[in-house]
Amino acid sequence: MSFQNLIPPVNFGYVEDDLYRFGQPNELNFPFIEQLGLKTVLWLAFEDPNQKFLNFIDDQGIQFYHLGNEQGTATDPITEETIVDSLNIILNKTNYPFAIVCNVGRHQTGTLVGCLRKLQGWNLASIFDEYRRYAGPKVRLMNEQFIELFDTDLVSMPYDPPKWIRR
The mean pLDDT of 102-126, rounded to a whole number, is 95
Q: Is 105 exposed, middle or buried (0-12, 13-18, 19+ CB in 10 A)?
A: buried
Q: How many CB atoms lie within 10 A of CB 81?
A: 11
Per-residue pLDDT, 68: 74
Which residues are part of the catalytic machinery? 102
CATH topology of domain 3-151: Protein-Tyrosine Phosphatase; Chain A (3.90.190)
Listed by start position, the domains of the chain span 3-151
Tell me: pLDDT of 83 over 90.
yes
Average pLDDT, the chain: 91
In whole angstroms, what is the distance from residue 84 CA to residue 80 CA? 6
Residues 38 and 98 sit within 8 Å (Cβ to Cβ): yes
- Alpha-carbon distance of 83 to 147, in angstroms, equals 10
- Whole-prediction pTM value? 0.92
* Region 106-134 average pLDDT: 96
3-state secondary structure of 68: coil
**What average pLDDT does the segment 37-57 reach?**
95
Residue 38: name the closest of 100, 92, 80, 86 by CA: 100
Q: What is the pLDDT of residue 74?
A: 54
Higher pLDDT, 121 or 5: 121
In tens, the pLDDT along 14-39 reads: 999 999 999 999 999 999 999 999 99
Query: What is the average pLDDT across 40-64?
Result: 95
* Local confidence band at 114 (pLDDT 50, 70, 90 cut-offs): very high
- The pLDDT value given to residue 112: 97
State the pLDDT confidence band at 75, using cuts at 50, 70 and 90. Answer: low
